């Protein structure tokens, strides 16, 4: 699939998610609103109390993942997003467990009361599950105009969570106060039909336009049958078109997403027919695709992974195992000996890994736009894995050719909240023995006017985060490089001192550094054009891949990244005994040209 840069710029301005034919399964669909419950769990289905058990006995049985898939698969839905309707606190944690154990459940929203004493602690407990994405507070008497409720919603914003809400009344107020918090309005915001006529049409459309003016607000095209006003919902698009048109006109094609409201949706019609109505609607328009409504916009609203892309690409030989994380821009996420399952790359958060990270333009304050306070002010900083809020880069293409892995991604801006950089990153990773050669390429196509041009920054070529169990730093700082002169073993500077250790004034004369353990085994990075480095340790030595403590080293080199800069560099990772690392670097120097 040939990548058209002009088309991509348009798509990026609309924040649509795309994936190349190498990674995208075009039949994948996500239902963004289903309820799961088990009536064998005491009182776990109290939200059904309004339903007459004699009239609707089908609802009063367990409705679990397998039941949903049996109904939805024939309409092409193989993934779902869960929404908790129960007001019982413990049911949120049951839902979390269900989601955690499922490959078909991509995320879930819970029902928590912002005024409950356990609100913050429950958020933090649930956040341990990366599939936890939102909160829909639905409690009798809960008033979103209450200043204390509004204040508590800040806890969602801080944790990069989505607020779900059923009506339109308070959305404008909330969106104004939290312009960077995604808000998903459920069930058409309460719009209703009667005999195919949109009720209270003028006021409803006005309210839609008001809330849609905030770009962080999405509309869930859900509970279609319930809003029909008929016990047996009509089966033709014509009946629903006024409601669909009003929402499409207000929110456009990139902020509407489908949710069925299963199993409650089954009370008035079949799952398949509801989907067919919306498929027909997409076909009737040239600006709304099924892929947007059933897949892309769901992922965009909730920040979900692309389930059609595998988690890792892997290379291995008799020496090493290497993995790239395709859920995180294809960055190097795993390196181990071939016969030992011990990752020596720290992957504690999106700022770690071994990845591309660049700096350009002026250092500016964008806190009003979602820039994290801890990283403000900051420059334009596209990063391969994801941002500091843990929103991840999007893979555009990936493939393997022999012992080389290729990835292409849209990086994120590190300091910002869920903002893709106007750039493309490419990476070619080749494994030969215990040497990993990496070619990196950044293609900028910035359209902003805020960062400016012409400012030079030291670039990390690349950023390397070994585990802190590799806690001894070695290099060569002398004036007789590549002669085998005795190595330098500087004291490791801890980040607690205020910054990493700076090895400047071209003192790293062999262009490499290595972190090794007490047996002098570890990983080195060789970046031929670099004779200045940063290196150090965060927290304490002795820790592993998922721990907060880490080692760090980065060859650095000055470069100016302007709006249309294309920047490329190569580097090498060498794993093994310290003497072998140095010997391999000497061999590499003889075989390559440096700039």
User: Per the structure block, which two tokens stand in for 343?
Assistant: 């990752």
**Residues of 13-46 as b/e, b for ≥16 C-beta within 10 angstroms?**
eeebbbbeeebbeeebbbbbbbbbbeeeeeebbe
Q: Kindly give, in sequence order, each residue whose CB lies less than 8 Å from that of residue 150, ignoring residues fewer than 6 positions away.
A: 144, 173, 174, 177
User: Per the structure block, which two tokens stand in for 268?
Assistant: 């008035």
- In CATH, the number for domain 25-302 is 3.20.20.140
Pick the CATH number of 312-591 from 1.20.58, 3.30.410, 2.70.98, 3.20.20: 2.70.98
CA angle at 527 for the pair 522 and 530, rounded to the nearest 5° = 125
Every domain of the chain and the residues it spans: 25-302, 312-591
Nearest-angstrom CA–CA distance, 30 and 106? 8
DSSP secondary structure letter of residue 292: I
pLDDT at 5: 41
Nearest-angstrom CA–CA distance, 145 and 149? 7
Note whether 241 and 250 are within 8 A (CB). no
| Residue closest to 233 by CA, chosen among 287, 203, 260, 270 | 270
Mean pLDDT by 10 residues, the chain (595 residues): 41 39 60 94 75 78 94 96 94 96 97 96 97 95 93 96 96 95 97 94 97 97 91 94 97 98 92 97 96 97 94 96 97 97 97 98 95 96 96 96 97 96 98 97 96 96 98 98 97 96 97 98 97 98 98 98 97 98 97 67
Nearest-angstrom CA–CA distance, 23 and 399? 9
| Residue closest to 571 by CA, chosen among 549, 551, 594 | 594
Note whether 483 and 510 are within 8 A (CB). no
**Longest CA span, the chain:** 89
10 Å Cβ neighbour count for 213?
A: 11
Note whether 326 and 309 are within 8 A (CB). yes
Say whether 312-591 and 25-302 share the same fold. no
């Amino acid at each position: 699939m040939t990548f058209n840069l002009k088309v991509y710029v348009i798509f990026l301005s609309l924040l649509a998610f795309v994936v190349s034919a190498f990674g995208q399964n075009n039949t994948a669909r996500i239902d963004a609103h289903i309820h799961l419950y088990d009536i064998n769990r005491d009182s776990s289905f109290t939200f059904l109390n309004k339903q007459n058990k004699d009239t609707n006995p089908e609802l009063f049985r367990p409705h679990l993942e397998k039941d949903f898939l049996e109904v939805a698969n024939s309409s092409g839905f193989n993934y779902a997003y869960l929404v908790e309707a129960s007001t019982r606190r413990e049911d949120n944690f049951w839902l979390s467990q269900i989601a955690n154990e499922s490959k078909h459940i991509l995320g879930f929203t819970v029902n928590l009361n912002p005024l409950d004493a356990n609100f913050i602690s429950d958020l933090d407990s649930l956040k341990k599950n990366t599939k936890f994405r939102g909160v829909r507070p639905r409690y009798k008497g809960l008033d979103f105009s209450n200043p204390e409720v509004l204040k508590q919603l800040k806890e969602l914003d801080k944790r990069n969570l989505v607020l779900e809400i059923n009506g339109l009344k308070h959305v404008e107020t909330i969106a104004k106060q939290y312009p960077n918090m995604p808000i998903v309005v459920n069930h058409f915001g309460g719009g209703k039909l009667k005999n195919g006529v949109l009720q209270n049409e003028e006021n409803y459309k006005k309210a839609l336009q008001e809330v849609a003016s905030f770009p962080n607000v999405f509309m869930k095209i859900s509970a279609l049958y319930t809003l029909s006003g008929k016990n047996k919902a009509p089966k033709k698009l014509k009946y629903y078109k006024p409601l669909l048109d009003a929402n499409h006109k207000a929110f456009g094609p990139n902020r509407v997403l489908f949710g069925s409201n299963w199993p409650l949706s089954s009370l008035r019609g079949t799952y398949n027919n509801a989907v067919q109505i919306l498929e027909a609607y997409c076909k009737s328009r040239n600006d709304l695709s099924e892929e947007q409504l059933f897949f892309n916009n769901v992922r965009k609203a909730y920040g979900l992974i692309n389930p059609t892309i595998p988690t890792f690409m892997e290379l291995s030989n008799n020496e090493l195992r290497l993995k790239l994380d395709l859920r995180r821009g294809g960055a190097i996420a795993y390196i181990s000996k071939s016969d030992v399952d011990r990752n020596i790359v720290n992957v504690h958060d999106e700022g770690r890994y071994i990845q591309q990270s660049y700096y350009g333009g002026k250092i500016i304050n964008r806190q009003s736009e979602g820039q994290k306070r801890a990283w403000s002010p900051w420059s334009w900083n596209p990063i391969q894995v994801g941002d500091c809020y843990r929103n991840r880069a999007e893979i555009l293409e990936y493939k393997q050719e022999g012992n080389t892995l290729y990835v292409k991604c849209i990086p994120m801006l590190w300091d910002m909240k869920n903002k893709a950089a106007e750039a493309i990153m490419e990476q070619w990773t080749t494994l030969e023995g215990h040497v990993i050669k990496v070619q990196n390429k950044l293609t900028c196509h910035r359209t902003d006017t805020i960062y400016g041009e012409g400012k030079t920054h030291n670039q990390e070529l690349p950023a390397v985060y070994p585990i802190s169990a590799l806690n001894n730093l070695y290099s060569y700082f002398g004036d007789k490089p590549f002669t085998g002169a005795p190595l330098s073993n500087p004291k490791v500077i801890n980040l607690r001192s205020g910054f990493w250790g700076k090895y400047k004034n071209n003192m790293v004369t062999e262009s490499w550094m290595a972190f090794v353990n007490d047996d002098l085994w570890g990983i080195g990075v060789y970046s031929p054009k670099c004779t200045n480095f940063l290196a150090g340790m965060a927290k304490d030595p002795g820790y592993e891949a998922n721990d907060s403590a880490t080692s760090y080293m980065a060859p650095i080199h000055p470069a100016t990244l302007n709006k249309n800069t294309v920047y490329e560099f190569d580097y090498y990772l060498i794993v093994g005994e310290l003497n072998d690392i140095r010997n391999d670097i000497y061999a590499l120097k003889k075989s390559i040209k440096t700039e």
